Structure 1
Amino acid sequence: MTRVRVTAPRSHNAGGPQAGSSGAGTLSAGAATGRTALETREAAEESDAGQVFVRSLIRSQLRLGIVVAAGFLLILLAFALLLGLVPGLAELRIAGLPFDWVLLGAGIYPVIGLSAWLYVRTAARNESRYRDLAGDK
């Protein structure tokens, strides 16, 4: 029995059995004339070079996640240290609100948004580089 990796549902054009056919080895016209993008990607992932590319993508995405999380935690720690080390800052009020609440509301949420935007942008760039290396268009 051969091992099968399911990566996406097959459509009728991707080489699956047609409705009404016996399903025993019949391919659609598109699959009979050439390889589909899904088959090309699966073949690239199963080759030695393809496995290296996939491992590289996984490592780069993990590294990106760790860097973004560490950067966010450092900024959060810097805000806490700022409040703890500067005397009188915690008692300061801006428009009737405690400064630490204003700092959390106006300082942390933009950092969260910026971190998320940078993560998504860089993750998309990593995946684009992987597709270029793997030969997907």
Structure 2
Amino acid sequence: MSSPAADSAPSAQEPGRQQHPLPAGDPLPPPAPNRVRVSAPAGSMLNIPRKLNPDAADAFYVRSLIRSQFRLAISVALGFLLLLIGLAVIGAAWPQIQEIRLATIPLPWWLLGVGVYPMILLSAFLFNRAAARNEQQYRSIVEQ
């Protein structure tokens, strides 16, 4: 049997955690809401009716779409990496660039701190357009 004093003490499994009793007259806190799983119907992303028995041609076209999206992602990532490497090479090959200052900040810091972000946005925009074009080509083939 345990005493009421032992029940209010911190448990051995939870060191450092103190239990605070609710003040008299305050209602109990509301129970946590139940979790709800939300999912989209199959095929709703591309608005293509889902086939019950996909055949070899369907599998081929899906693999082709995945490969084209992967090539696109790799090419955009490599292009951005080449841009960053190019900035490093310019800084190493032309040390006088450190002496060029805008508002007391060296030009390479401006290029890395401010100039790279428009390139990220441009890369993301072009990637999104190309990925949508790939998916549109896939849809036109599958819907035939």
Q: What's the TM-score bracket when you normalise by the shorter of the two chains? A: 0.5 to 0.7
* TM-score of the superposed pair, with normalisation by structure 2: 0.64
Please list every run of 5 or more consecutive structure 2 residues that lacks an aligned counterpart in the other structure. Answer: 1-38
| Larger Rg belongs to | 2
Indicate whether 1:41 and 2:41 are aligned.
no
> TM-score if structure 1 supplies the norm length?
0.67
| Aligned equivalent of 1:124, options 129, 132, 135 | 132
Give the Cα separation in 1 of the matches to 2:71 and 2:138.
15
Q: What number of residue pairs does the alignment pair up? A: 102
The residue aligned with 2:68 is 60
- Between the aligned partners of 1:41 and 1:130, the Cα distance in structure 2 is 14
Matching residue's letter, 2:78:
A
- Tell me how far 1:8 sits from its aligned partner: 4.1
2:98 aligns to what SS in structure 1? coil
Tell me how far apart the structure 2 counterparts of residues 130 and 41 of structure 1 sit (CA, whole Å).
14
1:19-98 to structure 2, matched below 5 A, reads: 40-43=49-52, 46-98=54-106
CA distance in 2, matches of 1:63, 1:103: 28
User: How far apart, CA to CA, are the structure 2 residues paired with 1:114 and 1:46?
Assistant: 37
2:140 maps to 1:108: no
Gaps of 5+ in 1: 1-6, 11-36
More helix by share: 1
User: In 2, distance between residues paired with 1:60 and 1:72?
Assistant: 18
Q: Which amino acid is the alignment partner of residue 82 of structure 2?
A: L
C-alpha RMSD of matched pairs (Å)? 2.1
Match of 2:41 in 1: 9
Post-superposition Cα deviations, 1:59-89, rounded to whole Å, max 9, x if no partner, equal 0000000000000000110011111110211
Structure 1 range deviating more: 107-116 or 52-61: 107-116
Partner SS state of residue 104, structure 1 = helix
Identity of aligned residues (%): 47
Q: Distance in 2 between matches of 1:83 and 1:93?
A: 14
